A = this chain, B = another copy of it.
Amino acid sequence: MTEPLDAIFSALADPTRRAILSMLLIDDMAVTDVAAPFKMSLAAISKHLGILADAGIIARERRGRVVWCKLDPDALRAASVWMQGFGQFETLDLDAFEAFLDGSLADPENQSA
């Protein structure tokens, strides 16, 4: 998954991970607290957090024995720009989108769009 958009969109594709992001939108949280509302194991949540971190959507910082998770909304900007190109959403930044396409559409073979 070399492309950043691959990582971001597939991270967002899982409902557990989207729920985690919604929680982190309210406030930073420790891993254990993130895991609390879910039925699955702590290890599973830890994996989800790893996927979100790899995609750049969250950052993890160890303080003592607690790992704090915080949202990193900037990572979603590229994906948001990409999506806005496909609708007549109010704030379509066409310049940014076409610049993006120029760099990626030329050769679909590279599958980097």
Please report A residues at the B interface, Cβ cutoff 8 Å: 3, 5-6, 9-10, 12-16, 18-19, 21-23, 25, 37-39, 71, 73-74, 76-77, 79-80, 82-91, 101, 104-105, 108-109, 111-113
Q: Which 9 A-B pairs have the closest CB atoms?
A: A91-B91, A10-B13, A73-B87, A9-B13, A15-B111, A37-B108, A19-B113, A9-B12, A22-B113
B77 adjacent to A80 (CB under 8 Å): no
How distant is A11 from chain B, measured CB to nearest CB, in Å? 8
A83 adjacent to B79 (CB under 8 Å): yes
A38 adjacent to B108 (CB under 8 Å): yes
B89 adjacent to A80 (CB under 8 Å): yes
